[in-house]
Amino acid sequence: MSEKGRVLLIGVGLIGGSVALAIKKEHKEATIIGFDVNHDNCMLAQKLNIIDVCTGNFQEEASLADLIILACPVEKAEQCLEVLSTLPLKEDVIITDVCSTKSKMMEKAEQYFTGNVTFIGGHPMAGSHKVGPGSARAHLFENAYYIITPSSTTPQTKINKLKSWLIGTNANFIIMDPDEHDLVTGVVSHFPHIIAASLVRHVQQHAASNDHVNFLAAGGFRDITRIASSSPEMWRDIVRHNQPKLLTLLDEWMAEMQDVRNLLMEGDSELIFDYFHGAKKYRDSLPVRAKGAITSFYDLFVDVEDTPGVISDITTLLAKEHISITNIRIIEAREDVYGVLRLSFQTEQDLNRAKVSLENKGYETYISM
């Protein structure tokens, strides 16, 4: 059923903008009010019809809202919660967020709100390599997991109401305890980001004394550590908020690395093989294109000869098919990578269309698994 109420969106970036577009798709009579500390973001979102109105004062709008979405970094979201708790909000308003950690947010919400004002934590587990409202897409969360973390006292009617608002995301909703959420996302998202950053820092130390490191890191190493290029501000807040679980995971990882060190020292060929084989077996068993905790990369590798105009030919071909490329790069260090040219796309649909179009023109293409 289409809602006619007012939605206040605090934070009009990629995630907030995509949520807004998904709401507008199903609830055409709803009015979406946007606020962003970067006013240019807000104005752009209004120009792109992501929001209906851009406001410079979210406090005034909050009192009129039926749904309030906090789509800003987690520490800013906490500050917004505190401000909202001092305002005369509607008694049946629902407040939610899109932050990557949940336990502390839920604790703050339970501290600030009582009565009919309901806070329900939310975490849409999808994203993009681009940022800002210009990259927002209504289908960004399609078939992705959207975790909802209500408190133990949240009425089912309120949870259903939030799902109704968010039905246009076409996401797979999962109800989860906040602590369980932080553990699971810590294991499969937060901790891998720490490892990626540490790998990059490690290579940086060697690059300072050997120029060849940078050249060879431009291939597979750069790809497997892509997530280290994520927003430092966002990840600073995430690791601060999920500190206890991440410290436990780090202790486990250090014990694992000690086991690996012992394995290398012993040099047992069969045990070393088993270690890598076990990792490969589990990794290969994971869903190939399911949307998980870390943003999927939709890359197509193309075999091309170094001839004048070949890149222009490929980009022109895809442009004629109205297929948008988010990134294009020539791969110099190609160990474990097929193809010379890597094309990146925003969606799996664009990736598959590009593969068919290029192969129809005689190009050999490969999708990394």
Question: For residues 309 and 263, which has the higher predicted lDDT (pLDDT)?
Answer: 263
Q: CATH 3.40.50.720 occupies which residues in the chain?
A: 6-176
pLDDT above 90 for 277: yes
Question: For residues 217 and 293, which has the higher predicted lDDT (pLDDT)?
Answer: 217
pLDDT (tens digit per residue) in 122-170: 999 876 656 788 888 888 888 888 999 999 889 999 999 999 999 999 9
Name the token pair of 95: 């407040």
Tell me, what's the pLDDT at 68?
98
Q: How does the average pLDDT of the chain come out, rounded?
A: 87
Q: CATH 3.30.70.260 occupies which residues in the chain?
A: 298-367
Tell me, what's the pLDDT at 335?
46
- The answer to whether domain 6-176 has CATH 3.30.70.100 is no
pLDDT above 90 for 322: no
pLDDT above 50 for 252: yes
Q: How many residues are listed for the chain in this entry?
A: 369
Confidence class for position 333, pLDDT limits 50, 70, 90: very low
Tell me, what's the pLDDT at 291?
58
Q: CATH 1.10.3660.10 occupies which residues in the chain?
A: 181-285
Q: CATH number for the 181-285 domain, one of 2.170.190.11, 1.10.3660.10, 3.40.50.150, 3.40.50.1820? A: 1.10.3660.10
Q: CATH number for the 298-367 domain, one of 3.90.850.10, 3.30.70.260, 3.20.20.150, 3.30.565.10? A: 3.30.70.260
| 204 neighbors 228 (Cβ within 8 angstroms) | no
pLDDT above 70 for 292: no
User: How far is Cα 238 from Cα 73, in angstroms, rounded to an integer?
Assistant: 9
Question: For residues 122 and 300, which has the higher predicted lDDT (pLDDT)?
Answer: 122
pLDDT (tens digit per residue) in 182-216: 999 999 889 999 999 999 999 999 988 888 888 77
Average pLDDT over residues 65-93: 93
Tell me, what's the pLDDT at 332?
54
